[in-house]
Amino acid sequence: MSEIDFHTIDCQAQIKQWKDEFNFYLSLWPNACRTCHATGVFFNTQDEEDGCDDCIYAEKCPRCGGAFEYKHSESRCPHCGWQMLEQEHLPFPPECDCLDAVFYALSGAHQ
């Protein structure tokens, strides 16, 4: 059984598209921060932004990985021009409920 056998056909297509976009982005920016998907931030449980420890707080550009001291949202990376306000980042995986549907079906809860 492959890693996507339990996904619907639509979900499989979305996963393939995401993988293609993800790999294309990495072909352009191989040192992009995978931890935060090159956004520079995470959203905590209160929906507030926290800087990424692996890039922003490590003084690295989230996109190119070059030395970068982030001061505010309009700061630009001197190497690649990345700016937090631009919203260009490593694609996030698609949302998927397929595994939940499999567990629901296997649990017998629907009977």
Distance CA 31, CA 45 (A): 28
Share the mean pLDDT of the chain: 83
- Are 32 and 52 in contact, with CB atoms under 8 Å apart? no
CB 105 within 8 A of CB 15: no
pTM for the full predicted model: 0.75
Mean pLDDT value of segment 14-24: 93
Q: Is 6 helix (H, G, I), strand (E, B) or coil?
A: coil
pLDDT band at 1, cuts 50/70/90? Answer: very low
Q: In sequence order, what DSSP letters do the residues of 40-79 get, joined into one string?
A: SEEE-TTS-EEE-TTTTTTTB-TTT--B----STT---TT
Asked whether residue 71 carries a pLDDT value surpassing 70, the answer given is: yes
Structure-token pair, residue 9 = 């056909």
Per-residue model confidence as pLDDT tens digits over 27-38: 999 999 999 999
pLDDT, position 105: 60
Question: From the CA atom positions of the chain, what is the Rg in Å?
Answer: 18
> Please, which pLDDT band fits residue 80 given cuts at 50, 70 and 90?
very high
Question: What are the residue boundaries of the structural domains of the chain, listed by start?
Answer: 31-107
Task: Name which residue leads in pLDDT, 25 or 111.
Answer: 25
